[in-house]
Amino acid sequence: MKKTLLAAGIATLLGSAVTADTIGVSMARFDDNFLTVLRNGMEEFAAGMDGVELQIEDATDDVAKQLDQINNFIASGVDAIIVNAVDTSATEAMSNAAASAGVPLVYVNRQPINVDTLPDNQAFVASNEIESGTLAAFEACQLLRAAGLAGGAQGYLLMGQLSNQAAVQRSKDVDDILGIDMCNFITLIDRQTANWSRDEAQDLMTNFMSSGEPFDVVFANNDEMAIGAIQAMKAGGMDMADVVVVGVDATQDALLAMQAGDLDATVFQDAAGQGSGAVNAALALAAGEDVDQKVYIPFVLVTPDNVGDFLSRN
């Protein structure tokens, strides 16, 4: 009995060793909140599957380091690679390296510049960035109209890192919404970068307020900056019922701020869904199956009405 058990044990060990799929993952950075949720989503999803092993590396926002990591993955014979690109315009070299070695590659969250010319065994899993800024800005516009400000409203725009595609896109989304007839009653007093950071946003907002210009709305490229702006406005004695604040990401801190009545709208980007989607795509490619080369996980607008549905998700 013991021997059979032992033999069975060894067999399973060997078996799993032979069939285990190893996926190398290179994340742009480990200390980003959203990317951490995404990374945890991948890990949990992989842990729930038999024989899938993830080797996750931190590229610390260094393009060259990321390429080295990918080449190391290829050299150690992984079955597939998932890349969260540090610089979305530097993905050509990664695609080439993986393609020439015949290793499947999946880009996650950040759209590679060569997304339309990806080799056959490569794919891109993310949310369509245009949706996020648009959803939030349009909700702000509707809230302002509902508040009877359709005759004219002023606002500020807090931007993420200017070198980042998402920041550029989300700011452009705000501009686009403010350009449509229904919303062109909103004018921006100023736009500045707070580098995605709560602390910088807090100081920036206080600086804005020091000029004494009245305003009705604050658009933030992400929730952290929206929270920073809220903290500054509260410290300045403003009533959060009088100003519309919208962010993007639906982080837990933001959802709780929404519950408290401070934040008016944010946009849920399914980080864990992107993570599991990327692992799925990588496994399918490794097994030689056909995969859609662009997999889009939809954004969802979060308002006080549906905030309860998202509290435990990001």
Stated length of the chain? 314
User: Cβ 24 to other proteins, closest distance in Å?
Assistant: 19
Q: Is 209 in the site for other proteins (CB under 8 A)?
A: yes
Using the minimum distance from each CB to other proteins, give the nearer residue, 98 or 263: 263
User: Cβ 240 to other proteins, closest distance in Å?
Assistant: 15
Q: Is 62 in the site for other proteins (CB under 8 A)?
A: no
Residue from the set 52, 204, 226, 265 that interacts with other proteins by CB under 8 A: 204
Residue from the set 253, 280, 284, 293 that interacts with other proteins by CB under 8 A: 253
CA-to-CA distance for 118 and 311, rounded, in angstroms? 36
User: Cβ 284 to other proteins, closest distance in Å?
Assistant: 28
The contact mask relative to other proteins for 142-161 (x = CB under 8 A, - = no) is -----------------x--
Residue from the set 26, 39, 250, 301 that interacts with other proteins by CB under 8 A: 39
Find the part of the chain contacting other proteins (CB under 8 A) among 46-54, 78-86, 193-201, 293-301: 193-201
Q: Is 192 in the site for other proteins (CB under 8 A)?
A: yes
The pair of three-digit structure tokens given for residue 276, joined into one six-digit string: 């599991």
230-234's contacts with Cβ under 8 Å and 24+ in sequence apart are 230/257, 230/262, 230/263, 231/198, 231/202, 232/201, 232/202, 232/203, 232/204, 232/205, 232/206, 233/205, 233/209, 234/262
Give the per-residue SS3 of 25-83. Answer: EEECCCCCHHHHHHHHHHHHHHHCCCCEEEEEEECCCCHHHHHHHHHHHHHCCCCEEEE
Q: Is 127 in the site for other proteins (CB under 8 A)?
A: no
The pair of three-digit structure tokens given for residue 33, joined into one six-digit string: 């909140």
Q: Is 31 in the site for other proteins (CB under 8 A)?
A: yes
Residue from the set 45, 124, 208, 215 that interacts with other proteins by CB under 8 A: 208
The residue among 71, 31, 73 whose CA lies nearest residue 56 is 73
Q: Is 36 in the site for other proteins (CB under 8 A)?
A: yes
- Within residues 221-240, the interface with other proteins by CB under 8 A covers 228, 231, 235-236
Binding residues for other proteins, total number by CB under 8 A: 41
Q: Is 58 in the site for other proteins (CB under 8 A)?
A: yes
| Contact present, 243 and 274 (Cβ < 8 Å) | no
At residue 182, what is the residue type? M
Give the per-residue SS3 of 214-278. Answer: CCCEEEECCHHHHHHHHHHHHHCCCCHHHCEEECCECCHHHHHHHHCCCCCEEEECCHHHHHHHH
Using the minimum distance from each CB to other proteins, give the nearer residue, 40 or 184: 40
Residue from the set 16, 40, 89, 100 that interacts with other proteins by CB under 8 A: 40
Find the part of the chain contacting other proteins (CB under 8 A) among 62-70, 96-104, 131-139, 205-213: 205-213
| Contact present, 30 and 36 (Cβ < 8 Å) | yes
Using the minimum distance from each CB to other proteins, give the nearer residue, 179 or 212: 212
Q: Is 32 in the site for other proteins (CB under 8 A)?
A: yes
Q: Is 170 in the site for other proteins (CB under 8 A)?
A: no
Q: Quick check: helix, strand or coil at residue 122?
A: strand
The residue among 186, 230, 168, 224 whose CA lies nearest residue 205 is 230
CA-to-CA distance for 60 and 68, rounded, in angstroms? 12
Using CB under 8 A, list all residues that contact other proteins.
29-33, 35-36, 39-40, 58, 159, 162, 190-193, 197-199, 202-204, 206-212, 228, 231, 235-236, 251-253, 256, 259-260, 311-312
